[in-house]
Structure 1
Amino acid sequence: MTRFRFLVLAAVTALTVSACGTADQNNGAPSTSNGVTNVKLQLQWFFQAQFAGYIAAVEKGFYKEEGLNVELIEGGVDIVPQTVLGQGRADYAVAWVPKALASREQGVQITDVGQFFARSGTYQVAFANKGISSAKDLKGKKVGNWGFGNEFELFAGLTKAGLDPGKDVTLVQQQFDMQALLRGDIDAAQAMSYNEYAQVLEATNPATGKLYQPSDFAIIDWNKEGTAMLQDAVWANTSRLGDKAYQETTVKLLTGTIKGWAFCRDNPEECRDLVVKKGSKLGASHQLWQMNETSKLIWPSSKGIGLVDEGDWNRTVELSQSTKNQDGKTVLTKKPEGQAFTNEYVQKAIDKAKSAGVDVTGSGFTPKAVTLNAGGA
């Protein structure tokens, strides 16, 4: 058993245990003192512009306007956000939908209450001279992926192209960087549009002595391949949603978050600075790129930021049920049961933010042209 498969199994086991032991202690709203409600929000990864909307909502006082004191809990390699939520160590969590649905199937009672990323940011990146421009071109290639549930779209893309992930490609455990691709150890690397793809454009091309250019690479975009799955969403504890106070807190949290993402859409440089100040290890140009690319995943949002599109949701579920991994297992064995998602609270938050003058659709959003510096400085 590979290390990442062992860790995933361990995480699932922890989820199952937590689901059986923490339901009672999770009833009711977060603690309140002096009229302010304290909320813990578990992020999916380390502080970076992927979470700029939440960071801005804290730093610019948008949560405070809602009567909340929100603590952002940084994620990491060995942290599964939905586990933290399921164990009652956080009030809400940010997690990708297929990963969270897999946890729900194992017994963790969580509900998607705010689908802030409307599009997938996952790429498979190869050098342009490798002749890889679509999933079918990966046949016989060394294909990197991170595991931990990040590989679901890759497997879905391979399956749609008629390839067996366990036989037709050589799967390589990839670190959370692009060094294996740049060294030539793998033919195609997994990358997020807002993070690892920028890393290759921040690297020096030894043939020219200058930074690599987008023309040096080919990108497989799962949105274009038709196998994109929903990613960053805010998840709440399902049983606690039966409590009126927790419902009200959920609306307040989502309202502040909407304000945060709208602010970052309109003020990307300031949000970059907020993220850098928060302690991100990534440089300023990299964070501005990430801020810009993250906004592309959110805006425009024709029906309103954070709403779950049922077509996108159903596609994610169907792919999770039909796509097999290298061992022949699927992400889900059946459709999610119970309240897997609801638009009830985010719609109230949208209405509330809109009445406060916030542009909740971003119909006029135009991405910036960002110049990357060496190493993302």
Structure 2
Amino acid sequence: MRRFRIFTAIVAASALVLTGCGTADSPKTATPGASGALTPIKLQLQWFYQAQFAGYIAAVDQGFYQEQGLDVQLLEGGTDIVPQTALAQGKADYAIAWVPKALASREQGAGITDVGQIFGRSGTYQVAWKDSGITSAAQLKGKKVGNWGFGNEFELFAGMTKAGLDPGKDVTLTQQQFDMQALLKREIDAAQAMSYNEYAQLLEAKNPKTGKLYTADDFSIIDWKKEGSAMLQDAVWANTEKLSDPAYQQQTVKFLTATIKGWAFCRDNAEKCRDLVVAKGSKLGKSHQLWQMNEVNKLIWPATGGIGVVDEAAWKQTVDISMTTKNQTGDTVLKKTPEGLAYTNDYINQAITAAKSAGVDVNGTSFAPATVTLQEGGA
């Protein structure tokens, strides 16, 4: 996912710096800055290379950042990397982070602003075996419920709270690994999963009784979007203090313009982007990455207000859940309403205008998800 340390652990971590040099099939002509050179940019990702970040990988590969006069270097994430902290400490120029965790970092002093809400929808599920009878948050009562922790659990807790359950008393919470083995072995009754990653791992696993892969009919899904407890996830964050600098403002618009092109490219060329991600060194297989690309596109497209625009209602719901939902120890993500410039649509709207002028479909109204056939182990 994309997952990083618990929202209270705002600790500096050194990033593994991997160069995102363009390898476009048809390199674009760069638009250099006044000095004739491209402006170097570092983008800190949340997690290891996977299709969750395909739009940024494609924007590098296809030369979209170079068109804007930018030389973008992608910094791969990992378990000990907090993207928003790397941004706040000047180790990156922009970062990809989930909104509630980034807001928690802001509350503790990180000067960061959401300038592009790329994922307009949450991709978090709670998955159970179909024969368990669990189809809603209310039915988790008395069950053994897995979650990753590290601040990823608040949609689950909000859903249970909304259903009248006390997350600290009415269920047995279990620290879940970043895979689905505990559910497959029936060690837990319900497991946390991203629609684009861990859920696919279930469908890539072989049923030992039949020798065939499991299917969606073997499982039931609690989708927090339907339960009303979804929170905003992947966003592009910028340095708040630097946003007072006109040069950084212009750079941000250019960066977002190229990013929009990258995600539109992956919407229209899912298999090509799958290949780019695999070539980047992802440990996940081709069918898994194609599934992930397809599911990630669902979280972005269609984008009614334009890709990356922060929806006020979704933002408010995320903040409300962050302030009111308690975890098993009684802690909330936020203690108060975010202060200052927590988000702005100024730069993404300028980028949308620029992308539209270049002929890019920024809404994806006609986007239709594909049907992806998974292979064993995601091969």
In 2, the alpha carbon distance for the partners of 1:283 and 1:33 equals: 42
Letter in 1 for 2:371: A
Letter in 2 for 1:125: V
Q: What secondary structure, in the 3-state scheme, does the structure 1 residue paired with 2:81 have?
A: coil
Among residues 10, 14, 18, which one is paired with 1:12 in the alignment?
10
Q: Does 2:113 match 1:111?
A: yes
Q: What secondary structure, in the 3-state scheme, does the structure 2 residue paired with 1:256 have?
A: helix
Please report how far the alpha carbon of residue 34 of structure 1 lies from its aligned counterpart in structure 2 after TM superposition.
3.6
Q: Does 2:282 match 1:284?
A: no
Q: Match for residue 169 of structure 2?
A: 167
Between 223-232 and 32-41, the greater mean CA deviation after superposition: 32-41
Q: Does 2:209 match 1:207?
A: yes
Contact between 1:32 and 1:38, CA under 8 Å: does it hold in 2? no
Letter in 1 for 2:291: W
1:40–1:202 Cα change, 3 Å: same
Among residues 140, 143, 147, which one is paired with 1:145 in the alignment?
147
Letter in 2 for 1:130: S
In 1, the alpha carbon distance for the partners of 2:178 and 2:11 equals: 24
Q: Match for residue 123 of structure 1?
A: 125
Contact between 1:255 and 1:350, CA under 8 Å: does it hold in 2? yes
Please report how far the alpha carbon of residue 33 of structure 1 lies from its aligned counterpart in structure 2 after TM superposition.
6.3
Q: Does 2:88 match 1:90?
A: no
1:32–1:370 Cα change, 3 Å: farther
Q: What secondary structure, in the 3-state scheme, does the structure 1 residue paired with 2:6 have?
A: helix
Deviations 1:189-241 (A, max 9, x none): 10000000000000001121100000000000000000000000000010000
Please report how far the alpha carbon of residue 13 of structure 1 lies from its aligned counterpart in structure 2 after TM superposition.
5.5
Please report how far the alpha carbon of residue 11 of structure 1 lies from its aligned counterpart in structure 2 after TM superposition.
2.1
**Over aligned residues, Cα RMSD in angstroms?**
1.6
Please report how far the alpha carbon of residue 10 of structure 1 lies from its aligned counterpart in structure 2 after TM superposition.
6.6
Q: Match for residue 25 of structure 1?
A: none
Q: Match for residue 19 of structure 1?
A: none
Q: Match for residue 261 of structure 2?
A: 259
Among residues 49, 55, 59, which one is paired with 2:57 in the alignment?
55
In 2, the alpha carbon distance for the partners of 1:196 and 1:362 equals: 26
Contact between 2:12 and 2:82, CA under 8 Å: does it hold in 1? no
1:89–1:200 Cα change, 3 Å: same
Write the mapping of 1:1-377 to structure 2, written as runs, cut at 5 A: 8=6, 11-12=9-10, 34-377=36-379
In 1, the alpha carbon distance for the partners of 2:277 and 2:11 equals: 33
Q: TM-score by structure 1 length?
A: 0.93
Q: What secondary structure, in the 3-state scheme, does the structure 2 residue paired with 1:205 have?
A: coil
In 2, the alpha carbon distance for the partners of 1:138 and 1:81 equals: 32
Letter in 2 for 1:172: T
Q: What secondary structure, in the 3-state scheme, does the structure 2 residue paired with 1:144 have?
A: strand
Give 5+ residue unaligned stretches, structure 2.
14-32
Deviations 1:308-351 (A, max 9, x none): 00000001001111100101111111100000000000000000
Contact between 1:136 and 1:158, CA under 8 Å: does it hold in 2? yes
Please report how far the alpha carbon of residue 262 of structure 1 lies from its aligned counterpart in structure 2 after TM superposition.
0.2
Q: Identity over aligned residues, as a percent?
A: 72
Q: Match for residue 28 of structure 1?
A: none
In 2, the alpha carbon distance for the partners of 1:174 and 1:97 equals: 22
1:180–1:243 Cα change, 3 Å: same
In 2, the alpha carbon distance for the partners of 1:10 and 1:295 equals: 30
Please report how far the alpha carbon of residue 77 of structure 1 lies from its aligned counterpart in structure 2 after TM superposition.
1.1
Please report how far the alpha carbon of residue 9 of structure 1 lies from its aligned counterpart in structure 2 after TM superposition.
7.1
Q: Match for residue 27 of structure 1?
A: none
Letter in 2 for 1:145: N
Please report how far the alpha carbon of residue 8 of structure 1 lies from its aligned counterpart in structure 2 after TM superposition.
2.9
Q: TM-score by structure 2 length?
A: 0.92
In 1, the alpha carbon distance for the partners of 2:150 and 2:126 equals: 16
Letter in 2 for 1:330: T
In 1, the alpha carbon distance for the partners of 2:303 and 2:35 equals: 36
1:9–1:376 Cα change, 3 Å: closer
In 2, the alpha carbon distance for the partners of 1:10 and 1:86 equals: 15
Q: What secondary structure, in the 3-state scheme, does the structure 2 residue paired with 1:357 have?
A: coil
How many pairs align? 358
Q: Match for residue 18 of structure 1?
A: none
Contact between 1:36 and 1:68, CA under 8 Å: does it hold in 2? yes
Letter in 2 for 1:208: T
Please report how far the alpha carbon of residue 172 of structure 1 lies from its aligned counterpart in structure 2 after TM superposition.
0.6
Q: What secondary structure, in the 3-state scheme, does the structure 2 residue paired with 1:11 have?
A: coil
In 2, the alpha carbon distance for the partners of 1:81 and 1:261 equals: 20
Please report how far the alpha carbon of residue 141 of structure 1 lies from its aligned counterpart in structure 2 after TM superposition.
0.7
Deviations 1:263-302 (A, max 9, x none): 0000000000000000000000000000000000000001
